[in-house]
Structure formats: C-alpha cells, structure tokens
Amino acid sequence: MPRRVIIVDHDDDDVIIDMRDRRQARTPRGAEESKVSPPSTPPLRRSDRNALSFTPRICNLIELRAESSFRVNQPDFEIIYALSGSDSNLPDTFHHFASEQVVEDARPDTVTPLVSGIVDLIKRERDGGTPPQLIVVNHTHPAPGNIPRPSSNDERFFRSAGEVLRDQFPGVTVVFGVHAISGESIRRREPPSRSEPNCLRWTSVIREHEVAFFTPDGGVHPVEYHE
Ligand SMILES: [Zn+2]
C-alpha cells in the first residue's frame, strides 16, 4: 500500500499558533533582542556546510513551476515539487510532480502527495540512476495565507515523509520547503536574497516568492544564494 499523507493548511488560527510556537521553540535564551532587530539577518558563513546552495537557475525553475499552476478565474491551488542533488547541499535536478502517481488531490488549501510516488519518480528521473545525496520536497502556500511556515499538519508530513525518504535513500539529506506565493499584480523584478537564515525571497514581474526550508523534525535548515 502506498503511504498517503494529507496536508491541510490555511486555517488562519493554526498558522498563527504555529508561528508563535515556532518562535518560542527556536529563540535561544538571551536572544530575545533579535526579534526587534532590523529585518536583515547576519550573513551565514559561506563555509556553513549544512546550508542549501541555491542558484539563479534553480530559483527560475521553481518560480516557473509555481507560477504555471495558476489559471484564469480559478482559485490558486497548492502544488508539490522536489529537487534532488548529487551533493548534500546543492540541488541539481528538478522533479515536476504533476501526475496522479504523486498527487492524488490538490485544492487551494490542500495537497495530497503519495510519498511512494515521490520516491519512484526521483529514482527514475535522476541521471544515470545515481542515488541522490539531497532531496528537497517543496509545496506551495498560495494567497491568501501565503506564509512560508509549515502548519502542524505539514510538520507531521515532514516527519513521516522524511522517514520514508531516508529509508529509501540511505545517507540522504532530506529538507522540506514551504513556498509562499503571492497573488498576481504588476511588480518590479527583485533578485533572490535571504529574508531569514532559512528563507529566500524574490519577486517576479507578477508575484512575490518566499521559500523557507526545514528539517524533517521541523527545525530550520539554512539556505544560501549564490549567483
Ligand atoms: Zn503547507
């Protein structure tokens, strides 16, 4: 039997509670001042071996994927996609999950992925069948409710899917991303930059994108952007 996980989002109360819990859980003692600091965050050392490394090419691919899911006069739907890499922090392959093999159902506030389908597709699509050292599974949070934070149900999915992926690909680094995408309006393009140590933000000519990364147990996973 394929494992089935349902993500339910966009319950406003849940999102607010999740954010409060996350701050309480992750703010180290004595670091309260950081909440009132300017929005810029201290740069991570480039030698941070754990940080995901995102390039313009990867950002373009995920921007295109997220924006291509929208249709005129229809509500914005959640989608799921993945990246994998031969290096534990450098994504090199994009996986476009648009088939029933991976997505059973997609609605404005729900996406229902089959983790077994994700595993099969990654195995099939990796060049030469080399096992990945990195898997990043992202899902979108379209507007309204386009907040790059996981809901409590997302966090349950991270844990269960993380277990399956690490079982199927021994030694792999598994990261989950929440890709918040705004509604459509005419904008000036802004290149990607870090809005948080684990979050990249940029603007296309029509939508704002913010993608935050988390470990399977819900901790933050740092990211860097390299031109
Ligand atoms: Zn979600």
List all residues 6 or more positions away from 172 whose beta carbon is below 8 Å from its beta carbon: 88, 131, 132, 133, 134, 135, 165, 166
DSSP H helices, 89-209, are 115-125, 152-168
- The residue range of the domain holding 66 is 49-225
Measured in angstroms, how far is the CA atom of residue 179 from the centroid of ligand 1? 9
The whole-angstrom separation of Cα 185 and Cα 26 is 34
Can you give the pLDDT at residue 103? 72
Give the pLDDT of residue 180.
97
65 found inside a domain: yes
Distance 161 CA to ligand 1 centre (A): 14
Q: Is residue 191 part of a domain?
A: yes
User: Does residue 29 sit within a domain?
Assistant: no
Q: Which of 88, 179, 95, 171 is nearest to 141 (CA)?
A: 179
Cα(50) to centroid of ligand 1, in Å? 23
Count of other CB atoms within 10 angstroms of residue 145: 17
At residue 21, the pLDDT reads 35
What DSSP designation does 148 have?
A: S
- State the CATH number of the domain containing residue 102: 3.40.140
Does a structural domain hold residue 12? Answer: no
| Residue pLDDT, tens place only, 50-98 | 899 999 999 999 999 999 877 777 777 788 899 999 999 999 999 988 7
- Which stretches of the chain drop beneath a pLDDT of 70? 1-47, 99-100, 104-112
Instruction: Report whether 82 contacts 118 (CB < 8 A).
Output: yes
pTM of the model: 0.77
Q: How far is the CA of 15 from the centre of ligand 1 (A)?
A: 10
